[in-house]
Amino acid sequence: MTAHPVFTRQLQPLSVDDAARSILNGLARNQKQPLEKLRLALFQICGPALARNAQFTEIKDHFAVLAVREDWRDAVFKERIALSQRVRALCPFLRGVRIVDLPARPAPIEPPVVKPEPSDHAETEGIAHEGLRKSLNALLDLRDRRNAPQA
């Protein structure tokens, strides 16, 4: 009895981790591919002005979800049919575009500026005006910090 040529090759065993990683990477790649394709083609789909104010966030129920800044929503709504056609040309399985508001960017949180009280310097002891003395002390503190040896 001769072995069938298809079954003569020896397969190398895979660990469960390697097999799971291989399967999950393939699934993740297939899931994100259309969304990545839309994100890369955003300038061609929407045009440069709108592309700076919108982004594709997800694919949900066979619709590409386009998040748009609130002030651009009317312009996008007027162009929704053309946008849907361009999206369907790129990803034929999609039905169209669903337009949602892009969350506003939160204002950056600035750390509070704590100005240290200027230390008293011997050079300013004779100045009677308090505001002038504090200003000169602050300038002398800056001079001392700049001239201090670097660690």
pLDDT value at residue 98 = 92
What does the DSSP 8-state code read for residue 9? S
What does the DSSP 8-state code read for residue 12? P
pLDDT value at residue 71 = 86
Token readout for 32 is 């994100």
How far apart, in whole angstroms, are the C-alpha atoms of residue 99 and residue 86?
15
One digit per residue, the tens of pLDDT, for the chain of length 151 reads 555 555 555 667 777 777 767 766 665 555 558 888 888 888 889 888 888 888 888 888 888 898 898 888 888 889 999 999 999 998 888 888 999 998 777 777 887 777 767 778 888 888 889 889 888 988 898 888 888 887 6
Dmax (CA) for the chain in angstroms is: 114
Measured CA to CA in angstroms, residue 53 lies from 32, 70, 103, 108 at distances of: 22, 9, 11, 19
| Helix residue ranges per DSSP H, the chain | 16-40, 42-46, 48-51, 73-78, 80-90, 130-147
How far apart, in whole angstroms, are the C-alpha atoms of residue 88 and residue 118?
66
How far apart, in whole angstroms, are the C-alpha atoms of residue 116 and residue 109?
21
pLDDT value at residue 2 = 57
pLDDT value at residue 144 = 86
